[in-house]
Structure 1
Amino acid sequence: MPFLVRAQGVPACPGADNDFMGIFARKKYTAAVVGLGRIGFSLGMDAKREQPASHTMALMANRSIEIIAGADCDVHRADEWKSFMESKRRAPAVFYSTKELYGSVHPDIVVVAVNEASHLGECLDAIQSRPSLVILEKPVALDTAEAMKIRAAASEFSVPVMVNHERRFSADYIAARDFLPRIGEIQRVRAELDSGLRVYAPQFEKDGSYSLIHDGTHLVDIVRFLLGVELSSPRVTGIFRDKDGIVRNFTAHYATSRIPDIEISMSGRSKFFSFGIDILGTLGRICIGNGYAKFYERRESRLYTGFYSLSNAKIRVPKKTGYFSNMVQNAVDFLSARAPLVSPLDEAIADLRVLEEIKAQLK
């Protein structure tokens, strides 16, 4: 479902002259944040995370955006957000329901940063308020049936939806994508996510509190983004269930005409959190994940005459990934008719379909 740019009051204008586009690009966009919890606000206070690490902080950091409102049904969270904004000499309106918000203000951008169970209702309400763009937290919804309702509403009201699959915007993963041609033909891919959160059980589908959908959406999305492949018809092995019948481990195997061996593995019984991808090519290798990015390419071996080995590639790996700020900048560039959405709704729905095919074999 492709969208043309529709900034408020200004039609999309491909082919416009540079003077007009310069004026258009300097527009100040207004934004509202729906959901003032962790990803909406408080992760911006985490001293260990690369900042900005929340929607509030990333929007504030962008000079082309002014936050004019925030909403949360939790009065304490809303009031805490208001106090913080006032401490930064900002004075956005604060609401305890989105009905009040949409009845009072009309932002260009609405960020929907609520829990998974509320995505459908809150995203539909946001779309129906007719902003120029909705930024929706991942995953799109609890299942594809809900996701298709969001898609239908987005089409009906001509409101583009961006889904925050943050690694698409991260400088280290972009570097990995750019490096892929240097590793030759891809022989195999191993993508793995390890945590202590249960992988799947039917009783958790009602609120999405299982890692297959909560974190797995990131894993599937970045595999599809990096490799440019569609994943379907998995062979799921290594299924481990705990004493309560909850799935704690699995591996999904895929093969495409271009890449014969792709594995996506998840663990829900690890005493740590880990996210990473290992891509082996005929001429090199990429190993990238949370906190590391390593690039290797074939060179004449220093150890054996007549052989080649893998050595560290000469590539500048950025220390700061800009994952959140780059996402917000893409929103601004899209509204200013300078770039397409990097993480559009249809891509996120495709991720959800992949996860549902895996889930069908875990039931």
Structure 2
Amino acid sequence: MGKKRYSAALIGTGRIGFSLGFDRKREQPASHTMALKANCRIRIESGCDSDATRLEYWHKFNKKSAAYSSYAHLFTSSKPEIIVIAVNEEFHLQVCLAAIHALPKIIILEKPVALTVQDALKLQEEAEHYGVPVLVNHERRFADDYRIAKEYMSSIGTILSINARLDSGLYVYNPEAESSGAYSLLHDGTHLADCVQYLLEDSPSEKEILFNQKITDIVYDEEKPSVVRNVSVHFESTKCTDITLAFSGKSRYFGFETDIIGSEGRIRIGNGIFELYKREESKLYTGFYSLAKDKTIRRPSKTRYFSNMVQNAVDFLDGKAPLRSTLQTGISTLKILESIKESIRKKTE
């Protein structure tokens, strides 16, 4: 007898839910639909979207699955074991609460957990009350290149400093976008803060990794003084006393990277970046040591960030593995971002 297949329902058939699966430049699978379809242990039972055009397009490629225009109808018509929530941040709270009350075996929730820590704590309270586990799709926790980098941390000695930065053309923070979450500090910054936490933490159960935050530099938009274009924030941790998260909203490109300096090595990792360095006798100076690229470890040709995430959900349901990205880790990340926002607000008052 073959292994049990789990039924899944997808709420949100937009970019991350479906259409990014057709982006030829991205490592595939790059959407929830494609990652679910690629896993032989999962059967996509249904999809849901309030946008009729998107839903029709999704249904064209998933003809054996039911299509619903409302998640309320979906939940009354079926009982999926896996519910994937891939809607915009502003709808996470209401949709996830409804999904929890539908009592699936697991929920896969897109990042960030919610617009605010308060909303995220409501989700956590309800999830714990109803006994519904929630996996948060902070994708770098599942990527093989980040896993290798995390394992390599023990090879670079004492962690001296971490510099992580995000560059894009989107406003870092815009108070007018609070209700939608359409600013980079929340939308993409959640990945930056979470990957630093992931690389530092010993276990996903750790609650507070970064603390004592202080804004070291801030640049406002010339035409909109309340809008932040650049911000740099310094943090401390029990594992490293010098951590900087830098967010730029004035760049004409998208960049994402983390640079970790150790007493005996270095790690640079990010979008298109994978460099591991180790201490060795210098070829330039007698009696000195230098850093040289560790050529024994290469970046994997496929990071499997999406397929690993879905497999983690299956392994959890099989009782074989714990969740690698939880509501707790997602809330810890949201707390970091909210602390930055609060500091920004104080400076603009």
Of 19, 28, 48, 1:71 maps to 48
2:8 pairs with 1:26: no
Residue ranges of structure 1 left out of the alignment (5+ in a row): 1-22
1:322 equivalent to 2:299? Answer no
State which of 262, 287, 307 in structure 1 corresponds to 2:243: 262
Once the 2 structures are TM-superposed, how far is the Cα of residue 335 of structure 1 from its aligned partner? 0.3
Match of 2:228 in 1: 247
Task: Determine which of 141, 150, 158 is the counterpart of 1:185.
Answer: 158
Q: Which of 270, 290, 296 in structure 2 is aligned with 1:289?
A: 270
Instruction: Give TM-score, length-normalised by structure 2.
Output: 0.95
Give yes or no for the alignment of 1:346 onto 2:319.
Answer: no
Q: The residue matched to 2:62 in structure 1 has which SS?
A: helix
Distance between the aligned counterparts of 2:102 and 2:237, measured in 1? 42
Q: Does 1:108 align with 2:87?
A: no
Where in structure 2 are there 5+ consecutive unaligned residues? 202-207
Aligned CA distance change for structure 1 residues 343 and 257 (closer, same or farther; 3 Å): closer
- Distance of 2:328 and 2:99 partners within structure 1: 18
| CA drift at 1:227 | 1.0
Structure 1 position 265, deviation (Å): 0.4
**Is the contact made by 1:275 and 1:289 (CA closer than 8 Å) also made in structure 2?**
yes
Amino acid at match of 1:306: G
User: Which amino acid in the other structure matches residue 95 of structure 2?
Assistant: E
What is aligned with 2:204? Answer: none
- Residue-by-residue CA offset, 1:226-246 (whole Å, 9 max, x unaligned): 011711230112110012021
Corresponding residue number in structure 2 for 1:122: 95
Contact kept? 2:212, 2:236, Cα under 8 Å: no
Whether contact under 8 Å (1:28, 1:66) holds in the other structure is yes
Q: In the alignment, what sits opposite 1:18?
A: none
Match of 1:14 in 2: none
TM-score normalized with structure 1 length = 0.91
Question: Aligned residue for 2:288?
Answer: 307
Q: In the alignment, what sits opposite 1:3? A: none
Selected match of 2:144 from 171, 176, 182: 171
Runs of 4+ in 1 over 3 A off after TM superposition: none
**Which residue is 1:13 aligned to?**
none
1:33-112 to 2 correspondences below 5 Å? 33-86=10-63, 91-112=64-85
Q: Whole-Å Cα distance in 1 between the matches of residues 79 and 274 of structure 2?
A: 41
Instruction: Tell me the amino acid that sits aligned with residue 322 of structure 2.
Output: P
Residue deviations 1:66-115 (CA, integer Å, cap 9, x gap): 000000000011010010123xxxx0000000011111111110000000
Task: Please report how far the alpha carbon of residue 256 of structure 1 lies from its aligned counterpart in structure 2 after TM superposition.
Answer: 2.6
Aligned pair count?
336
- State the SS of the aligned residue for 1:248: strand
| 1:145-176 superposed Cα distances (whole Å, 9 cap, x missing partner) | 11111111101211001100000000000000
CA displacement, residues 204-240 of structure 1 (integer Å, 9 cap, x when unaligned):
1111011111111100000000011711230112110
- What residue identity is the alignment partner of 2:3? R
Instruction: State the identity %.
Output: 51
Query: Is this contact kept in 1: 2:111–2:136, CA < 8 A?
Result: yes
Q: Following TM superposition, by how much is the alpha carbon of 1:258 offset from its aligned partner in structure 2, in angstroms?
A: 3.1
Per the alignment, in what secondary structure is the counterpart of residue 182 of structure 2? Answer: coil
Q: Is the CA contact 1:233–1:357 (under 8 Å) kept in the aligned structure 2?
A: no
How far 1:304 sits from its partner (Å)? 1.5
Equivalent-residue separation in structure 2 for 1:255 and 1:159 (angstroms): 34
2-side partners of 1:32 and 1:258: how far apart?
40
Contact 1:184 1:283 in 2 (8 A): yes
How far apart, in 1, do the equivalents of 2:286 and 2:108 lie? 55
How big is the alpha-carbon RMSD for the aligned residues of Structure 1 and Structure 2? 1.1
2:173 maps to what in 1?
A: 200
Q: Kindly state the Cα deviation for residue 303 of structure 1 after the two structures are TM-superposed.
A: 1.6
Distance 1:232 1:302 in 2: 40
CA distance in 1, matches of 2:309, 2:61: 23
Secondary structure at the aligned position of 1:298 is classed as strand
Contact 1:35 1:113 in 2 (8 A): yes
Does the 8 A contact of 2:9 with 2:84 survive in 1?
yes
Residue 205 (structure 2) aligns with: none
Name the amino acid aligned to 1:311.
Answer: A
| Equivalent residues of 1:144, 1:349 under 8 A apart | yes
**SS of aligned partner of 2:241:** coil
Partner SS for 2:261: strand
2:255 aligned to 274, 284, 291, which one?
274
Note if 1:233 corresponds to 2:246: no
Which of residues 327, 330, 333 in structure 1 aligns to 2:315?
333
Aligned amino acid, residue 191 of structure 1: A
